[in-house]
């Protein structure tokens, strides 16, 4: 599953970065390249070529001190509080610190060496304390409170910024007693340390690989996948083939390998990440995180962590999120039963009688696909050459939204030599910003796919353009070999690019109104997936890497016919993860044994024994590397309800390229950040609330499940 990294918390709402603490005087920017203003063309670019772990401690200290001074000036201002003298400077406070933290956050996600891990362990609790020092400042909050009380005199955007900021500060503890604030800050610092600990342990397990030395064990696996495994072994100084413990490497083996013992070995290594009772086991860390979250929620006046987290979401309550999930779960579970029966029928015809187990699911689902639709995933890969699919994503963004992309790779600094960069302008030639891609898996890079915004757009002077990035973990083969990706990988590429489009189309004045609720964040990216399989994109860009021929209509017809195939598996593995997340974070006292809780919850909801959660708790990075998706993994389903209904609007207009629909979608929903309530904005776009039947239809489930 994919996700986007966003700033959270009261201070992040104000200026898009974490707050500062008092400290030594700021070092002159020239003394440390991490502290220097971003210079060069395109409004300035990150100095990736100068980033070194040893430079960060001094940069942290100096930029934290500078940010503290920014906020101190606001809090100590003797003039009566106004929007202009309180909220505007808060929007602009700590910009140097924000840039330093952008550099650090990207490095810990993409190039996480032991040196960066040590920095993260040491500084994460300090950052949490710094944020709390701002949020808990009574003089600052008094000014916020005063402007909030007089907000009726402000324009609508200013009113929304003031209200959201005030509410956020209250949720983060600004009204607690001094003793309660000390306790809350202790919880936040402990959590920051635990998040760092979880990430370090999981990354260690994901950097492992299974070595195969007998080529016979790789029977059935396509040559392109073997080449990737061969390159991975060579990178580790080994002969043979290395199957790295990440999804992009594991899934093809589970799909194609005829050696059942290899499938089981690879599957067990993957699903047991963080759950092996060794130095990398994450269970104790998870238990600590869940307990701390519950205690923090109680201190803040909430029954559970989920109740606290969902205050600023579209769903509003855990019950509303659970209601949507449990409307879909029975249909998903029933479909899994049908899929297993189809797979078992094929397995029963084999020479060796087996009962379908989780490590068999992808393999036999592929056999059913071939049998029912005459469609082999291996047939598709030759048409999904990475460079071509990237160009297809840019083409769709240009045709829909008027964004123009000119590649400038090699002209601006990058942190990894295989990265690519584009200069982006709008249909009128105006500057939008830059778009970076970091596509390949490597040691030290966390798993999954995500989007980052190095710099967000704002109209508040001084205005800023966008620096956006996509990060994937596609497998890179031997040098000179074409990089062929699966249909699932191509959908991931379009998904993450949807986040970038959202960032690039943003047109807001105040940074504090840029970030959207968690259960809206995935909506623009999920909508963008729909354009991958449009005939125009396929004809121009899904061309056979050897012959150059476009994907035959007959093959596309097979893909279309099989669109709802295996949706039981896809829905149940995701939804079980989301349900466990929500139930875990509604345990009132937060006392859990993660493994036992996972097993009990899956038994309670009737999880089919033939599959596992997409993210088991011991490796659930979304939940335990930060607070960002905790009690929020349901958001993909919530967003998909809007996504399916949105694409239906294009279909109702007669074309996926319908210009008036695309313009309304961009103007009302993509460009406005959080300047208006997102549910109201959706109703403005669609004329009504989203229809869950569109989601059920998209997944091939009975629409009678809706109510």
- List the catalytic residues: 496
Q: Who contacts 180 (Cβ-Cβ below 8 Å, separation ≥6)?
A: 173, 299
Residue 458 near residue 95, CB atoms below 8 Å: no
Distance CA 581, CA 514 (A): 27
3-class DSSP assignment, residue 256: helix
Residue 395 near residue 416, CB atoms below 8 Å: no
Distance CA 707, CA 697 (A): 14
DSSP string, 563-619: TTTTHHHHHHHHHHHHHHHHHHTT-TT----HHHHHHHHHHHHT--TT---SS-GGG
Q: Who contacts 204 (Cβ-Cβ below 8 Å, separation ≥6)?
A: 279, 280
* Chain centroid offset of residue 131 CA: 23
- Between vectors from CA 124 to CA 118 and to CA 125, what angle results, nearest 5°? 120
> Do β-strands 420-425 and 431-440 pair in parallel, antiparallel, or remain unpaired?
antiparallel
Residue 155 near residue 93, CB atoms below 8 Å: no
Phi, psi (deg, nearest 5) at residue 110? -110, -25
Beta bridge partners of 212: 241
Report the candidate in 4, 162, 2 with the shortest Cα–Cα distance to residue 502: 4
Phi, psi (deg, nearest 5) at residue 439? -100, -15
Report the candidate in 243, 226, 238 with the shortest Cα–Cα distance to residue 481: 226
Residue 525 tokens, joined: 């990216």
Rg of the chain, C-alpha, whole Å: 25
Four-residue CA torsion sign, 363, 366, 371, 377: negative
DSSP string, 450-497: EEEEEE--B-SSSPB-EEEEEEEEEPP-STTS--B--HHHHHHHHHHH
Four-residue CA torsion sign, 379, 451, 431, 505: positive
**Residue 554 CB burial class (10 angstroms; 0-12, 13-18, ≥19):** exposed
Four-residue CA torsion sign, 382, 375, 270, 452: positive
Distance CA 419, CA 387 (A): 12
DSSP string, 415-431: SSTT-EEEEEE-TTS-E
3-class DSSP assignment, residue 662: helix
Report the candidate in 344, 346, 369 with the shortest Cα–Cα distance to residue 355: 344
Most distant CA pair in the chain, distance:
85
Residue 706 near residue 692, CB atoms below 8 Å: yes
Report the candidate in 377, 345, 314, 284 with the shortest Cα–Cα distance to residue 565: 377
């Amino acid at each position: 599953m994919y996700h986007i990294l966003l700033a959270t918390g009261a201070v992040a709402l104000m200026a898009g970065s974490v707050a500062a603490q008092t400290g030594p005087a700021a070092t002159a920017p020239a003394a440390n390249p991490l502290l220097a203003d971003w210079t060069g063309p395109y409004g300035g670019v990150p100095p990736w070529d100068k980033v070194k772990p040893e430079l960060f401690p001094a940069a942290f200290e100096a930029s934290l001190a500078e940010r503290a001074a920014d906020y101190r000036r606001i809090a100590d201002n003797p003039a009566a509080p106004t929007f202009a003298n309180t909220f505007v400077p808060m929007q602009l406070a700590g910009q140097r610190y924000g840039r330093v933290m952008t550099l650090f956050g990207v490095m810990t996600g993409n190039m996480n060496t032991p040196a960066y891990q040590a920095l993260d362990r040491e500084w994460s609790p300090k950052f949490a304390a710094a944020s709390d020092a701002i949020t808990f400042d009574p003089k600052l909050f008094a000014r916020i409170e005063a402007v909030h009380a007089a907000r009726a005199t402000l324009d609508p955007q200013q009113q929304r910024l003031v209200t959201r900021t005030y509410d956020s500060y209250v949720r983060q503890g600004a009204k607690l007693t001094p003793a309660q604030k000390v306790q809350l800050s202790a919880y936040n610092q402990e959590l920051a340390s635990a998040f760092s600990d979880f990430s370090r342990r999981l990354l260690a397990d994901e950097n492992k690989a299974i070595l195969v030395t007998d080529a016979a064990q790789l029977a059935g696996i396509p040559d392109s996948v073997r080449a990737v495994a061969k390159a991975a072994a060579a990178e580790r100084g080994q002969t043979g083939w290395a199957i790295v413990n990440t999804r992009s490497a594991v899934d093809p083996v589970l799909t194609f390998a005829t050696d059942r013992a290899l499938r089981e070995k690879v599957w067990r290594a993957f699903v047991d990440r963080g759950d092996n009772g060794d130095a990398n086991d994450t269970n104790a860390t998870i238990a600590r995180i869940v307990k701390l979250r519950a205690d923090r929620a109680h201190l803040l006046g909430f029954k559970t962590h989920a109740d606290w987290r969902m205050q600023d979401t579209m769903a509003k309550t855990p019950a509303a999120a659970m209601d949507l999930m449990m409307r879909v779960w029975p249909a998903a579970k029933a479909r899994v039963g049908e899929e297993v029966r189809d797979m078992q029928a094929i397995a029963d015809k084999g020479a060796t009688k087996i009962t379908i187990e989780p490590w068999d699911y992808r393999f036999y689902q592929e056999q059913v696909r071939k049998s029912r639709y005459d469609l082999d995933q291996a047939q598709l890969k030759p048409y999904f050459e990475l460079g071509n699919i990237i160009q297809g994503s840019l083409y769709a963004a240009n045709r829909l939204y008027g964004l123009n992309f000119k590649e400038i790779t090699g002209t601006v600094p990058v942190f990894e030599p295989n990265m690519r960069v584009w200069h982006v302008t709008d249909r009128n030639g105006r500057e939008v910003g830059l778009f970076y891609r970091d596509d390949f898996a490597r040691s030290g890079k966390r798993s999954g796919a995500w989007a980052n915004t190095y710099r967000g757009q704002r109209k508040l002077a001084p205005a800023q353009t966008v620096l956006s990035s996509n990060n994937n973990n596609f497998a890179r083969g031997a040098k000179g070999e074409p990089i062929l990706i699966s249909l699932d990988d191509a959908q991931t590429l379009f998904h993450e690019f949807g986040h970038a489009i959202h960032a690039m189309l943003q047109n807001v004045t105040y940074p504090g109104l840029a970030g959207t609720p968690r259960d809206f964040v995935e909506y623009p990216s999920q909508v963008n997936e729909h354009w991958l399989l449009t005939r125009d994109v396929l004809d121009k860009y899904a061309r056979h890497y050897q012959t150059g021929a476009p994907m035959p209509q007959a093959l596309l017809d097979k893909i279309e016919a099989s669109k709802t195939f295996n949706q039981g598996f896809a829905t149940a593995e995701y939804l079980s993860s989301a349900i466990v997340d929500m139930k875990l974070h509604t345990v009132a006292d937060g006392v859990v044994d993660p493994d036992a809780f996972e097993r009990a919850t899956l038994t309670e909801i009737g999880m089919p024994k033939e599959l596992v959660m997409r993210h088991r708790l011991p490796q659930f990075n979304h939940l335990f590397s930060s607070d960002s998706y905790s009690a929020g993994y349901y958001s993909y389903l919530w967003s998909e309800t809007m996504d399916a209904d949105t694409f239906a609007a294009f279909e109702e207009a007669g074309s996926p390229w319908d210009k008036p629909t695309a313009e309304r979608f961009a103007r009302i929903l993509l460009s406005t950040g959080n300047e208006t309530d997102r549910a109201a904005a959706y109703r403005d776009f669609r004329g009504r609330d989203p229809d869950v039947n569109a989601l059920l239809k998209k997944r091939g489930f009975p629409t009678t499940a809706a109510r």
